[in-house]
Structure 1
Amino acid sequence: MSFLEISNLRKAFNANSGVQHFDLAATRGEFVSFLGPSGCGKTTTLRMVAGFETPTSGSIRIDGRDVTHLRPNQRNVGMVFQSYALFPNMTVAQNVAFGLKVAKRPAAEIAQRVDEMLKIVKLPHLADRYPYQLSGGQQQRVALARALAMKPQILLLDEPLSALDAKIRVSLREEIRSLQRSLGITTIYVTHDQEEALSMSDRIVIMNEGRIEQIGTPFEIYNFPRTHFVASFVGTLNMMKGEVVDPQNGKLVVDGQEVFTTQGLDGAVAGDTRTVVLRPEAVTLNGAHSEGNTLSGTIEEVAFLGSVVRIRVRLRDNVISLDSFNSSAVAPPERGAAATVSFAPRDLQVLPHDRAA
């Protein structure tokens, strides 16, 4: 049964729709990320769940309770902001205790809960410090502890790691995910960082221009994009134009060379143009693939990146990029050399609606 239900949610700003027809059912303890470019409606949706924005239409239910028009303090949700939003004149312990004091909890309960939360985020030794005395990562841990101190039913995080440097982001996202799992709290995480969403989430909601493009597990989103936007936005992807030759048997022509896909070409007829997509890691250089597809071309670019050699092969109008692991026993290919790329039919995906065709 769904713990968080968002049904046909819509938010209009004057004549413009910030969010349109948003539907999501999240289970108890699930970690769901909203992923998309700036301005796509991620934060607006999050703020409606939090109660900071009022929906134009639609409903939000938490554990069966309709909270659509309740104030933020009536929803039992915890919010972690991108800017930390800590009180500069309060110590770490006072910041964590703030919500509990507003709720007029007994002093002994507040002290116990603050101590518990600071231990969870590994900051008990910094209880008496002020925000300006902390690093960015430490401040975000305090913000997380403050949000969790009230034992919320839902945890909402609005790009909480975007202000941190890369190394700290990786470390802190692992801590957040581990903490979320241990507490079993249903979590909505807003980000524009694909790696964050793919590595942390149970499911990902891909958003674009206020609409949901696709919902799925990281595996589904990455390997089976359903729209052009998802295919181009998530991960590195080879996108090529192919002409349908035999839709029943999945046969297409790319730059005059035949390829096959195991995916059905529903609704296609011979002569149609389709966009076909292929992940770089599915491509092998100069080795006939045991399952079938090969394309011939010329090495256009070689970039040595240490452990990986990134290679770009020009067919005719289309280009295929692939990554090869560096080996001291094998020199990288030369630019201008003839090359053959191979890949399995199952790895060649055909997008259903080609806007450019």
Structure 2
Amino acid sequence: MSFLDISGVSKSFGGNTVVRGFDLAVRRGEFISFLGPSGCGKTTMLRMVAGFEQPSAGRIVIDGEDVTHRPPNARRIGMVFQAYALFPNMSVGDNVAFGLKVAGRPAAERAKRVDEMLGLIKLAHLKDRYPYQLSGGQQQRVALARALAPSPRVLLLDEPLSALDAKIRVSLRTEIRALQRELGITTIFVTHDQEEALSISDRIVVMSEGRIEQCGTPHEIYNRPRTRFVAGFVGTLSLVEAEAEGAGSTVTVAGQPVTLAEPVAGSGRRPVTLAFRPEALKLDAGEGRINAIRGTVEAAEFLGSVVRLRVATPGGTLLADVFNSPAAPPPAPGETVVLHFAPGDVFALDGEGAAPAQAIAAE
């Protein structure tokens, strides 16, 4: 049974609809990420769960209680903002205690809870400092502790790491996930960073233009995208044009047969678009790699542990990642190569309205 139910929620500002028919059932203790480009409606949806915005249609239910029209302070929601929103004139301890004080908790209870929260985020030694005396990462930890102190039913995180540098972001997202698991709190995390969403989520909701494009585990979203938008937004992807005929699992790319793991929907002769992840394409014909496409290396980009090859094929450009080896330099531009892959390493997208064959990468 779901703990948080969002049913048919839409939101319009004047004549502009920013969230459309949003349906999501979240299990107790689940970590959900809303992922999508700027302006897709993910923060608006989060604010409606928090109570800062009212839906134009639909219902929001938490633990069996309809909170659609309840104010934020009656929902038992904890929220962490992108800009921290700490009170500059309050110490770390007082910031963490703020929600407890507003709720009228006794002073002894507040002090005990503050010590507990600061211990969880490993900042007990900074209890008497002020926000301006903390680093960005420390300020965000304090904001997290403040949100968790009143024991909310749901924790909402609105792009909490976007203002931090890359190394601190990786460290802090790991800490947030570990803390969420320890407390078992139902959490919604908003981000436009696909790596963040893939690394810490139980499920990801990919959004575009106010709609849910796909909801699934990180493995499902990355390996089996259901729409062209999801395929292009999450991860790096190569698209090539192919042709299918009849109901089968074999298509052709410029006359070269390619076997898929599943039959292509439809009938008759029709165009389909094949999608490849760079790591799926190999230079060697290993076990199970029954497909092969010949092409010419256009460029080799050194990325450290891997070298990304840009290979021109009759159906379009393919990106292929090969491991960096000091003893074996990668193929040089102009060299002919054969890319091998297994049927399960390629998937077909609907050919209707397909974009020209090209290599595309997530923003």
TM-score category by the smaller chain?
A: over 0.9
Q: Which range moved further: 287-296 or 32-41? A: 287-296
For 1:268 and 1:135, the matched residues in 2 are separated by 60
Measured against aligned partners, the alpha-carbon deviations of 1:298-317 in whole angstroms (never above 9, x if no partner) come to: 11111122321111110135
The match for 1:264 is 263
**Residues 5 and 24 of structure 2 are in contact (CA less than 8 Å); yes or no, is this contact kept in structure 1?**
yes
**Residues 302 and 332 of structure 1 are in contact (CA less than 8 Å); yes or no, is this contact kept in structure 2?**
yes
The match for 2:56 is 56
Matched, 1:94 2:94: yes
Matched, 1:344 2:357: no
The match for 2:360 is none
How far the C-alpha of 1:186 sits from its partner, in A, is 0.2
How far the C-alpha of 1:235 sits from its partner, in A, is 0.4
TM-score of the pair, normalised by structure 1 = 0.97
**Residues 271 and 351 of structure 2 are in contact (CA less than 8 Å); yes or no, is this contact kept in structure 1?**
no
How far the C-alpha of 1:174 sits from its partner, in A, is 0.3
How far the C-alpha of 1:354 sits from its partner, in A, is 3.0
Q: Which amino acid aligns with 1:236?
A: T
Aligned length: 355
For 1:325 and 1:311, the matched residues in 2 are separated by 11
For 2:94 and 2:64, the matched residues in 1 are separated by 33
Gapped runs of 5+ residues in structure 2? 356-363
- The alignment partner of 2:247 has SS state of helix
Q: Which amino acid aligns with 1:29?
A: G
Matched, 1:107 2:92: no
The match for 2:188 is 188
How far the C-alpha of 1:355 sits from its partner, in A, is 2.2
Matched, 1:239 2:239: yes
How far the C-alpha of 1:288 sits from its partner, in A, is 6.2
For 1:84 and 1:304, the matched residues in 2 are separated by 37
- The alignment partner of 2:101 has SS state of helix
For 2:178 and 2:134, the matched residues in 1 are separated by 22
- The alignment partner of 1:284 has SS state of coil
Q: Which range moved further: 12-21 or 288-297? A: 288-297
Question: Identity rate of aligned residues, in percent?
Answer: 63
**Residues 274 and 348 of structure 2 are in contact (CA less than 8 Å); yes or no, is this contact kept in structure 1?**
yes
> Alignment partner for residue 323 of structure 1, among 315, 321, 324?
321
- After TM superposition, what 4+ stretches of structure 1 lie above 6 angstroms from structure 2? none
For 1:55 and 1:67, the matched residues in 2 are separated by 11
TM-score of the pair, normalised by structure 2 = 0.95
How far the C-alpha of 1:193 sits from its partner, in A, is 0.5
**Residues 18 and 210 of structure 2 are in contact (CA less than 8 Å); yes or no, is this contact kept in structure 1?**
yes
**Residues 250 and 263 of structure 2 are in contact (CA less than 8 Å); yes or no, is this contact kept in structure 1?**
no
The match for 1:85 is 85
Q: Which amino acid aligns with 1:62?
A: I
- Considering only aligned residues, what root-mean-square deviation do their CA atoms show, in Å? 1.2
- The alignment partner of 1:214 has SS state of strand
How far the C-alpha of 1:238 sits from its partner, in A, is 1.1
Measured against aligned partners, the alpha-carbon deviations of 1:16-61 in whole angstroms (never above 9, x if no partner) come to: 1110000000000000000000000000000000000000000000
The match for 1:251 is 250
Map 1:3-18; keep pairs closer than 5 Å.
Answer: 3-18=3-18
The match for 1:314 is 312
How far the C-alpha of 1:262 sits from its partner, in A, is 1.8
Gapped runs of 5+ residues in structure 1? none
Q: Which amino acid aligns with 1:319?
A: T
- The alignment partner of 1:285 has SS state of coil
Q: Which amino acid aligns with 1:264?
A: P
For 1:261 and 1:41, the matched residues in 2 are separated by 35
- The alignment partner of 1:104 has SS state of coil
Q: Which range moved further: 5-14 or 287-296? A: 287-296
Q: Which amino acid aligns with 1:58?
A: G
